[in-house]
Amino acid sequence: MMIVMRNMKAGARAAAKDATHERIVSVAARAIRRSGYDGTGVADIMKEAGLTHGAFYAHFASREAMLAEAAGRACAESAAAAAEVVANTPPEKTLESMLGAYLSKEHLESVDIGCPLAALGSETSRQVPEVRRVATRHVKEMIDLVARQLPDWGQPGAHERALVTISTMVGALLLARAVDDPALSDGLREAALRHLTSPGS
């Protein structure tokens, strides 16, 4: 009986630690998109998660390890949002729906839960290899997802069109967020969307 009780307590402790770890990663995934990698400090993350700064090292070996996990979570959330659009849209409208959602005003204004490529792209090249590896994997996944929505999927031209589509999507959103002129911001998004959805693009 005592062994069972000890095992139950150990299991409960492990589950609590896992839940706390998930909370930290979730908070950090939002924070890096909102404030950038360099603007995301351990103390701020732990405070937002409702934990002490000292508890951090029970979960991560370093700040960089936390950033890599947070980047992975942000990428996974972005991929899941894109996959949901694909799952809920007729095949002939999927790419148009994906582009419309990505280049929407709502996505523009939702930096902390939006695409990490647009939020963090310019910073990523200066991050540790683990963070760059996560970003690279996500770029490849997004290219593949877009390519699979194209009528000529599997042909060399589809891959190249997917590369251009992802580059245009991310670049347009990044610039639309960067400028302080609302009309220009809207124009950047709308022009990119028209170009990407026009026949023969």
What pLDDT sits at residue 161?
95
Residue 181 Cα to chain centre, angstroms: 25
Predicted TM-score of the model (pTM): 0.86
The residues, ordered by sequence, that sit 6+ positions from 147 with a Cβ below 8 Å of its Cβ are 153, 158, 159, 161, 162
Query: CA-based angle 18:23:29, to the nearest 5?
Result: 125
Q: Mean pLDDT across the stretch 27-48? A: 94
User: Residue 176: which pLDDT band, with cuts at 50, 70 and 90?
Assistant: very high
CB distance 56 to 8 below 8 Å: no
Structure tokens at 121: 């792209």
Hey, what domains does the chain have and what are their CATH numbers? 2-197 (1.10.357.10)
Model confidence pLDDT, tens digit, residues 131-155: 999 999 999 999 999 999 998 888 8
Residue 47 Cα to chain centre, angstroms: 22
CA distance 106 to 81: 13
Structure tokens at 79: 């991929």
